[in-house]
Amino acid sequence: MESTPPSTFLSLPAEILINVLDKLDLKSVISSTQTCHKIKQIFEDSSRLQYAAELELAGMKDNPYCAMPIAERLDRLRRREDAWRELQPDFLATLPVPRAPSSIYDVTPNVYLLGVAVAPDIPLTRGIQSMRLPSEMGDTTTPFLELQMTKPIVDFGTSIEEHDLLAVVTMASAPDTESMFALEVALIRHSTGMMHDEAQKPLLLLGGVNDIPSISIEVSGENLAVIVVNHRELDTPTMFHLFNWRTGTRKGAVRQMHNAGLAFLREDILFNPDTDANTFNLYHIPFSTPGVDDKDLEMQRILSLSLPELSENHRIVTLQCRCDPSPTSGDAYPRYSSHKRPFSNDPAHAVMIVEMRVRDLASGRELPDAFVMFVHRRKLLELLPEGWERNLKASQTREEASMDVEGEDAGAGQEGAPQPPPSLSPSSEVDDADAASVPGAYPTSSMDADAPTESDDTAPSTSAPGPSIPGAYPTPDLDEHDSSSEAVKRTPWDSWGPANTRWLDADKFSSVYITSTAGQRFVSISKSARVEASKLRVIDFNGYHVRKAAQALGKGIWKGSRIVGVEVPRVQQESQTADPNAEVVEEEADDDEEGAEGTDEDEDEAREEQDRGLMGCKGAFKQDPLESRLPYLEMKTKTKHNYNAVLVDEQRILGIRNISGEEWNVVREVEIIHYG
């Protein structure tokens, strides 16, 4: 009698092996395919495994709401990657601006928003116009929605894909005698233009100001963070407010910051640069917990990263940042995204752009051009010190909070858990017929004075009482001291910065708009494009794309553009290809080269410095040139454009054309270059 051979892992049915491989991380899957012929064959025959792997390499997330078959998703993903790599769009479209725009704006993965001016010659903003961006060649009936407010709008923030939310900061006459204006945040559902039904107190009071302030506002999960820059208040010029937007309650006390830049790294970790200390600060935000007063949930600093040391008599005067897309609660896929699109950019892989301007105090003048720095969100989180959670003062971490979450959020936070379709999906899901039946505008929002507000929660904090803000309405508590500051040591620039960042001199950019990044890409156009059409430049910081290009270059089959920050053979580096038939971006002097006043020799020298990770900084920093080694690909479009500025989202480049080429309040139209 023959004995039955023992069963082995590889003897299992292919369906089971696919399920097992699908649970592994990408590195383990790749290692398995390289060491086992059968697993390699299973991988090559499985659209599911290939899609999961290529999705991660592209820095994208799968959409659990999309009903598209896996094979079609994989095909869409590959076509998208090819289009962006070759900068070959699948269609162009022109988006007119229906209303006279003001200077405030934003762009999300699906929507372009502009303020509506009181009149073409009056810059005050009284409304917001929202234009859904087309995703298909035949999608010409882009829904237009308009929100009208009864109070002047200072600025607004968006969380459209995660919460269907607009957070609109308005200004009105203050009822007290110490302030001229009172600031409020109105929480509005984007798809209806009405007060957001998930907000228990849809009007949040920020306090009083005596001039039109500058505003930074960001939303992630339950947290809404606002920085108000009071230009006339010398004692408290920059104030930070933190709310749980659903409950309308403050988290901790109002505190003074030293810069208006804001970005969420996670729902519970906030990034804010400090221009006084010349650092990037990371803060932990406790989660709201039943039985704990939100006013006792103080934000704590957990990391300070030093910037390069400034030269004597130099100071950073403005610094703004953006990291798109924003993280979501429990890393869940944003439930108000289009159900038709099978994937979107993964916030964990996004690159942050930091734009700064430096002043020479001796002359009193700002340096003529800004500096731009890029760093991955993931890398900033990896720099957090080991065991940092143990040093938190009686606050809840994300892991602890996930155990308390119930219902929909709990399901979203669990890996692989199904997410039910939302009860209301905004205009990306509106049929053309339905859109045509709408009169083209939001219902006018009256901002009912009797609506519940945050004012009932402004009693003195039991945890950190402090002096009042001059002219505030009403008077929140002010925490002027970061109680965690002594426990946080600075990480020197040399130990974290050069290896993880890339600095670019913005003297060749038309202008630096903070919405010029999406995912891991950055777009720019020549300053001269206003007068003479210029090619668009796209910089890709996706590490896999860079490595893949370098490997192809080493084999003589690279079909692409400049590779910066990786070692390549010198003979191939000069030509950027060993294949005479390969299509490349020419490396010799370009007829639309930015900074045309420079010589070819100057351009070659500058490019050599970039390849070595060096950037001249015009004396702003003691280390000159400045070293940064984050690798990237730099590409140019084949066609030229005469845009005043360019923006980008995960599917498109948006070219902005102005009426007279001046400022944002003369935007005439937007040209959409769609890649997928």
pLDDT score for 454? 46
pLDDT score for 4? 57
Give the CA diameter of the chain.
Answer: 101
The Cα–Cα gap between 223 and 494 comes to 33
Residues 6+ apart with CB under 8 A from 411: 417, 418, 419, 420
Residue 211 — left, alpha, or beta (φ > 0 → left; ψ -120 to 50 → alpha)? beta
DSSP three-state, residue 123: strand
The Cα–Cα gap between 101 and 125 comes to 8
Q: Which residue has the tokens 């087309």?
A: 134
Residues 6+ apart with CB under 8 A from 177: none
pLDDT score for 119? 83
pLDDT score for 143? 76
CB contact at 8 A, 603 and 593? yes
Residues 6+ apart with CB under 8 A from 209: 171, 179, 180, 181, 183, 228, 230, 232, 233, 471
Question: Hey, how many other C-beta atoms are within 10 angstroms of the C-beta on 158?
Answer: 24
Arithmetic mean of pLDDT, 60-79: 97
Arithmetic mean of pLDDT, 43-71: 95
Task: For residue 521, name the pLDDT band (cuts at 50, 70, 90).
Answer: very high
pLDDT at 103 over 90: no
The Cα–Cα gap between 670 and 676 comes to 18
pLDDT in tens, 413-434: 333 333 444 333 333 333 333 3
Q: Give CA angle at 132 (127, 134), nearest 5°.
A: 155
pLDDT at 669 over 70: yes
The Cα–Cα gap between 563 and 76 comes to 26
Task: For residue 140, name the pLDDT band (cuts at 50, 70, 90).
Answer: low
Mean pLDDT of the chain: 80
pLDDT score for 90? 93
Task: For residue 133, name the pLDDT band (cuts at 50, 70, 90).
Answer: very high
pLDDT score for 233? 63
Element (H, E) at 83: helix 70-86
Least confident range of 22-36, 65-79, 341-355 = 22-36
pLDDT at 162 over 80: yes
pLDDT in tens, 178-222: 778 899 999 999 999 999 999 999 999 998 888 889 999 999 999
pLDDT over 90 percentage in the chain: 50
pLDDT score for 253? 93
CB contact at 8 A, 323 and 351? yes
Q: Which residue has the tokens 């015009």?
A: 618
Least confident range of 12-26, 485-499, 548-562 = 548-562
Arithmetic mean of pLDDT, 579-587: 35
pLDDT at 317 over 70: yes
Alpha helices in 156-218 (DSSP H): 160-163
pLDDT at 309 over 90: yes
CA 616, 619, 620, 622 torsion: positive or negative? positive
Task: For residue 235, name the pLDDT band (cuts at 50, 70, 90).
Answer: low
The Cα–Cα gap between 358 and 373 comes to 14
Q: Which of 391-395, 424-428, 651-655 has the highest mean pLDDT?
A: 651-655
Q: Which residue has the tokens 């010198």?
A: 570
The Cα–Cα gap between 608 and 629 comes to 13
pLDDT score for 402? 52
Residue type at 166 in one-letter notation: L
Question: Is the model's pTM score more than 0.85?
Answer: no
The end-to-end CA distance of the chain, in Å, is 62
Helix/strand/coil (H, E, C) string of 510-570? CCCCCCCEECCEEEEEEHHHHCCCEEEEEEECCHHHHHHHHHHHHCCCCCCCEEECCCCCH
pLDDT score for 413? 38
Strand partners, 159: 165
pLDDT score for 667? 81
Q: How many helices (H) and strands (E) does the chain have?
A: 14, 36
Question: Hey, how many other C-beta atoms are within 10 angstroms of the C-beta on 202?
Answer: 24
Arithmetic mean of pLDDT, 160-185: 89
Return the C-alpha torsion angle 380, 381, 387, 392, nearest 10. Answer: 100
Task: For residue 459, name the pLDDT band (cuts at 50, 70, 90).
Answer: very low
pLDDT score for 406? 43
Task: For residue 91, name the pLDDT band (cuts at 50, 70, 90).
Answer: very high
CB contact at 8 A, 433 and 143? no
pLDDT in tens, 258-305: 888 999 999 999 999 999 999 999 999 999 999 899 988 999 999 999
Residue 427 — left, alpha, or beta (φ > 0 → left; ψ -120 to 50 → alpha)? alpha
Question: Hey, how many other C-beta atoms are within 10 angstroms of the C-beta on 613?
Answer: 20
pLDDT in tens, 358-385: 999 988 888 878 899 999 999 999 999 9
Task: For residue 409, name the pLDDT band (cuts at 50, 70, 90).
Answer: very low
DSSP class of 472: -
pLDDT at 400 over 90: no
pLDDT in tens, 589-648: 454 444 444 445 555 556 666 667 788 888 899 988 999 999 999 999 999 999 989 999
Arithmetic mean of pLDDT, 235-241: 82
pLDDT at 175 over 90: no
Residues 6+ apart with CB under 8 A from 387: none
pLDDT score for 18? 81
